[in-house]
Chain A
């Protein structure tokens, strides 16, 4: 299981993404965008899931464009964000 961070350029899109991803039965949190990540929108989705492709497929299927996706790891309390391809 990995922690994915997805950023969006608008609040509407972030909430729309949350709505459609919720259907995949996964844990999703709408969180303030971490300051380490540059984003157009103050909200970001934190998703706990094991299949990155399933997430992007669901977004594409629902015509939801996201800005960036990161994998968040935490080592000794320090969070690290690695941008996915």
Chain B
């Protein structure tokens, strides 16, 4: 199977991930942060070491400000429900995934929040003029994706951050498609919160993710319960990471994520990014030569994370996807949980696009095979 669905979740995972998961399950197995026996200490150490590695990878000084969750959706839910108050105004992009839009739409209905969206150009690059115009409404929060999961466009967060800070709005980033694929220093970017999955670009197991919150941010948890700390008290601890990590964590998954981070740090984010650019460059050029398929999204490689969405006037997205699947090529068609992004790209009414999302292990030979199938479909 040629797997070109890494924007959903990465596959294969980094070398050693499955062994780390198995090693925990087979040889450690204990809960973390609760009991104090040797196995419990080893389990606690797995989580601590993964947190430390991730903090280093993301440029975060204090690893206790990194909270682990099951995925980026849970992280975004925690940040949005923990931070947005009734009647608040939220500015967001017109490219968001439903992990942002559904919590916001719920709050719009139930707590009368106001949602503003800044527009994007037809290739999904952001309209900075409109972004500035919307900031003039002085929203309480700006919640934006770092990168579209449909078009692959990278948003200019470094240019947006000072504008957001100048109006004293909170700044929340959905780093789902960026983390592990593109150089990002969260400490330098200094958002109020940065949410990420552990299973996409970070090449860890599914069921891992998290968020960073800056010092001084007053955020309520969405989960309350046992943390192993302050066990004599029925009040949720205020300190991190315990405040947001009630319940038994995904220790097996975090063992795998720790191993994946070792792999990524060994390779280096620049090499990871360079490889993706080579693959995307080749893929776009080959697609252009075929003539039949229209690429939605930015053509400039520096604006592109490595997600190629296509449509064809003559061949349906269902036919393209089925043909690829029958030839052992995995892609995702449809709305990609991001109706807003498809409205921006003009592909909503026709049911979306076919999305190709290569990963770190995708080769030029893989792309050639995919192009071969796409070529055959035209005939």
Contact = CB atoms under 8 A, between A and B. Distances in A.
B48 A11 contact: yes
Contact of A42 (B35, B48, B240, B241): B35
B241 A12 contact: yes
- Interface of chain A, main secondary structure: mixed
A19 B33 contact: no
Interface stretch (B37-45, B115-123, B143-151, B153-161): B37-45
Query: What is the interface residue range for chain A against chain B?
Result: 10 to 19
Interface residues of B, number: 25
Given A15-B44, A15-B48, A30-B41, A9 B36 contact: no
B37 A32 contact: yes
A63 B168 CA distance: 28
B313 to A, nearest CB: 56
B56 to A, nearest CB: 12
Interface in B178-225: none
Contacts of B36: 31-33, 42-43
Contacts, number: 50
Nearest to B242: A10
Contacts of B8: none
Interface centre among B34, B37, B229, B241 (most CB of A within 10 A): B229
Given A40-B229, A41-B229, A42-B228, A12 B37 contact: no
A16 interface: yes
Contacts of B62: 63
Contacts of A32: 36-37
Interface string B51-83: 110000000001110000000000000000000
A11 B239 contact: no
Interface in A1-57: 9-13, 15-16, 19, 30-33, 40-43
Interface centre among A13, A31, A41, A63 (most CB of B within 10 A): A41
B331 interface: no
A6 B61 CA distance: 23
A16 to B, nearest CB: 7
B44 A19 contact: no
9 contacts: A9-B230, A10-B239, A11-B33, A12-B64, A12-B240, A16-B48, A16-B64, A40-B230, A63-B62
Contacts of B228: 11, 41-42
Contacts of A43: 36, 41, 44
A69 to B, nearest CB: 19
Contacts of A42: 33-36, 40, 228
B295 interface: no
Contacts of A15: 44-45, 48
Interface in B269-290: none
B32 interface: yes
Nearest to A15: B48
